[in-house]
Structure 1
Amino acid sequence: MKPHTVGDIRTIISGELMQGSDEVEVHYGAYRLKQIKNQNTILFTDKRIVNWKSLMKYFPLVLATDWKYSKSEIPENLTIIHVPNLEEAYWKFVHYYRSQFNLPVVAITGTAGKTTTKEMIKHILSTDKKVTSTILTSNSRTASLQYLLSIEEDTEAAIFETAVGSPGDVLKAGEYFKPTIGIITNIGAHHLNYCNTLEGYIQAKGEMVKIIDPKGVLIINAEDINTSKIDVKSFAGRVIKVGTHWSCHFRACNIKYHQDGMQFSVKHKRRNYQMFVPGFGEHQVYNALAAIAAVYEMGVTIPEAAVQLKTFRKYNKQLQVVDGINDSVIIDDTWSITTTSLEAALKVLNEIGKEKKKVAILGTITDLGSWGYTIHEQAGELIYRIGVDVLITVGEHASIMADHAVKLGFSSPVYKFRNEVLVLNLLSKILDSNTIVLIKGDMYSQPIIELASKLRKKK
């Protein structure tokens, strides 16, 4: 955070100094008690604090509040700024802080590829720029203030994920970050427990159009069906399309699987550029296209981006190919699971396992609410259409995939388990050097993660 004195902040939020000194410097911000990690933090809260003892180690501490404390109930060395309305004061501070910086800010949303695209952009820019970004997949609403305050005087670019748990999440992120570049990677079916319908989820993702600077840029996957349902006509800025269609501003051609990644060429303004990106799957090419388009807007040439992408390191458990038990090959994709990412993973399994017996181990798709049955059936359709040689599901809801695939005519062997306990016994019998296994679940499914670990060949 760019340091501010209490006097500065009082002026910004129209507050009255009730106790303490205007000379105290503030280096951090929080609006929940558990977010206080350092001294010289300002806490914005409308809740009455009773247990001051636990906060003593963080003094000097500044409290911005609309509570009226008596002198007898607060520590003497606490600085208090009283405001008439805490929420108004908080947003005054947020808007002021963001207004202090004129720099490119990228906001990324989508069902799949958010983190990868964000990390690609960060990797490309970090060669010669000071960049701040969301950490790993931590993109919750409660972290937004900390990410905004990570922009400092020497920051040259910022890249933030704006996830969707509920309608309004992207709009709220926009109030913090005020992005100049927005990216929608794709829209599948996820978080339907809060968005209620697929249409509601699409609209929630489409909030991106409303938060980008009117002079800014929106980057979209031109071939994603659900993204095409978003009304972008109201957006005053430029819309940049990425994909394989001739109409795309950044067009991928000659896509090929190569050792440890994807080779392709990018056509832009009638020129072709050769590219390589680590990580298997055509979806990785689309992630790279969005990243290239974003950094191009920030002054990075496509050849410069190509050089950097070669050294990009994707996260573990994202279609990570490793040696498995019984000399098999394991594709560990236990990072997340949606129908969008499942389709991509099955395609990778079929492509790199052409000469092998292909086994898919699939866990439950979460955050679907009343849509759970329907979406798992859609996953079953994907399995039937793309095909594998052996299908194994783990979990009660995951079995819906298997049942629906069989109903459609899937004829390969199918095994359904309620948990992972008996799966390893089966796999130890059917896996060999001619077998490749895709294991897919999400990072919160401990049984799937433990099974993936047990399938890896021990060094």
Structure 2
Amino acid sequence: MTTKSITLGQLLNIVGGTLVRGKRDLLLSSANYGKPKYLRTEHLYIFSTQKSQTHQLDAIRRVVPRAVIIPSSVSASSVPLSSAVIRVTEPYVAFWRLALWNWKQTAVTVIGITGSAGKSTTTEMVTAILSQTRSLVKTMGNLNTFTYLPSYLTRLTPKHEYLVLEMGMKSLNNIARQCSVVRPDIGVVTNVGEAHVGSLGSLDTIVRAKQELIDGMNPKGILWLNADDKRSRKLNTRNFLGKVHTFGINNTADIRAKDIDQRTNGITFTACFEGRNVPIFIPTIGIHNVYNALAAIGIARSLGNSIEQIRKGLASFQPPRMRMQLLKGTRDRWLINDAWNANPSAMVAGLKSFREWGKNRPHVAVLGDMLELGKLTRSAHQQIGRIVAHLPLTQLITVGKYARIISQSAIEKGMDPKKVFHYNSTASLLRHLKQLPANAVVYFKASRKMHFEKVIRALNTV
């Protein structure tokens, strides 16, 4: 995390607390909150009370950072004498104060990306386009809630022009809290689905959670919505004073895709916008990724990027791990790792997309539990079973206590029981998968806690 350079004395004024030792004119330019693994000598290390004290102190003694902020529970004598020390009541509060101070020193354009699926991929696509010509800070991995916001604010320096934030939520008010600090100038809702319905209680509540982005945006900002997503139509834009644009495939939209062709190395399609027909290639599979690309195109055009920059950025973007990730397996098999997480909408989209890839090959779907669905758990898994029953699959394999409902529902809806298998153990599942037909396409989808990546790793040749 990189901040604008400040002195130790300025830091003390910003975060409060007591200066235990160190010269006030000591210059600091990099902050590290609670990540001992990434600690460097030039860092200001801010102790985390949520992490192991022993591990943090071991790293501090080994690396000897320029300065350390500690809580009252940590003795200054345990920190090397050459490190400056500030003691505070709560380091996380100090971190937030530093982050807010640093935020006020910048003038970046904020891009807020939310949705039940596609946030990470859209974020990476936008980053691939913008970073060709501009410096930016973006969300890392799935660290996309209010808790992690100060990590991005402290990384901003005067050279940065964009802050690209994937805005996730575990509860109501999470996106609103993020927007209360950074009001997005450009926002996108990729879609509104069932993700986190278990913790939020209902689909209407999820709509309310995504509404928080719209309500929290810069009133003169630009908003992009999915014209094909029925739940996105429940979002209220009447009070939004900025510009509202749409993207889609089936319905009328400001940016539309046509002539979609899934190939071995990705997808080609024509993007229709501003009276132009622009050929686009994205190095990933899945029709839902076309929607993500359309959203990225909309954001990029809103920021003035050229068509050539858009085409080049999308063609070179690196798909996030475990999102329709195509991997080479043994015996000429292809493995599609789409198991970062799962909800019914995302699973349906993945199943339909994978069936379009490698049409002359055997197709096997390996589906695991979809978690965090609350009272919708049973009906959601039954829904997947009904859809799978009408797909021309070679085999359906389910894993987990809830996924069993998928296989039962598929059989009830007419799928040949001889094509349906269920396992509760990884060992049994692997034995089965290793006996699959040569050149099969195997699709993996489940919630993150099912750890399908371990199964895929055992089958991957790379």
- TM-score normalised by the shorter chain: which range applies? 0.7 to 0.9
* Corresponding residue of 2:7: 5
SS at match of 1:421: helix
SS at match of 2:336: strand
* Corresponding residue of 1:450: 454
Matched, 1:288 2:293: yes
Q: Quick check: 2:45–2:65 contact (8 Å CA) kept in 1?
A: no
* Corresponding residue of 2:431: 425
* Corresponding residue of 2:340: 335
Distance apart, 1:426 and its partner CA: 2.9
Q: Quick check: 2:32–2:39 contact (8 Å CA) kept in 1?
A: no
Of the candidates 417, 431, 436, which is equivalent to residue 441 of structure 2? Answer: 436
Matched, 1:398 2:400: no
Which TM-score applies when normalising by structure 1? 0.85
Mark the runs of 5 or more structure 1 residues left unpaired by the alignment: none
Of the candidates 374, 385, 394, which is equivalent to residue 389 of structure 1? Answer: 394
Which TM-score applies when normalising by structure 2? 0.85
Matched, 1:214 2:216: no
Query: What is the correspondence of 1:17-416 to structure 2 with a 5 Å cutoff?
Result: 21-29=23-31, 37-38=39-40, 40-41=43-44, 43=46, 55=60, 58=64, 60-61=66-67, 63=69, 78-80=84-86, 93-245=98-250, 247-411=252-416, 413-416=419-422
Among all aligned residue pairs of Structure 1 and Structure 2, give the percentage whose two residues are the same amino acid. Answer: 27
In 2: Cα distance, 1:432 partner to 1:60 partner: 57
Q: Quick check: 1:13–1:90 contact (8 Å CA) kept in 2?
A: yes
For the structure 1 residues 106 and 71, does the alpha-carbon distance in structure 2 shift closer, same or farther, using more than 3 Å as the test? closer
SS at match of 1:439: strand
Q: Quick check: 1:133–1:147 contact (8 Å CA) kept in 2?
A: yes
SS at match of 1:2: strand
Q: Quick check: 2:46–2:91 contact (8 Å CA) kept in 1?
A: no
In 1: Cα distance, 2:289 partner to 2:143 partner: 21
For the structure 1 residues 46 and 332, does the alpha-carbon distance in structure 2 shift closer, same or farther, using more than 3 Å as the test? closer
In 1: Cα distance, 2:264 partner to 2:96 partner: 50
In 1: Cα distance, 2:34 partner to 2:210 partner: 27
For the structure 1 residues 301 and 140, does the alpha-carbon distance in structure 2 shift closer, same or farther, using more than 3 Å as the test? same
Distance apart, 1:80 and its partner CA: 3.7
Choose 310-319 or 32-41, whichever is displaced more: 32-41
Deviations, residues 128-166 of structure 1 (Å, cap 9, x unaligned) = 222221223333443321111111111122212111122
In 2: Cα distance, 1:46 partner to 1:260 partner: 46
Q: Quick check: 2:100–2:150 contact (8 Å CA) kept in 1?
A: no
Aligned-residue RMSD, C-alpha: 3.5
Q: Quick check: 1:111–1:186 contact (8 Å CA) kept in 2?
A: yes
In 1: Cα distance, 2:336 partner to 2:392 partner: 16
SS at match of 1:306: helix
- Letter paired with 1:452: I
SS at match of 1:422: helix
Q: Quick check: 1:145–1:176 contact (8 Å CA) kept in 2?
A: no
Q: Quick check: 1:26–1:42 contact (8 Å CA) kept in 2?
A: no
Distance apart, 1:450 and its partner CA: 2.7
SS at match of 1:172: helix
For the structure 1 residues 31 and 369, does the alpha-carbon distance in structure 2 shift closer, same or farther, using more than 3 Å as the test? farther
In 1: Cα distance, 2:224 partner to 2:85 partner: 45
Distance apart, 1:169 and its partner CA: 1.8
In 2: Cα distance, 1:350 partner to 1:124 partner: 29
Choose 258-267 or 284-293, whichever is displaced more: 258-267
Mark the runs of 5 or more structure 2 residues left unpaired by the alignment: none
Distance apart, 1:408 and its partner CA: 3.2
Choose 132-141 or 396-405, whichever is displaced more: 132-141
In 2: Cα distance, 1:88 partner to 1:326 partner: 54
- Letter paired with 1:194: S
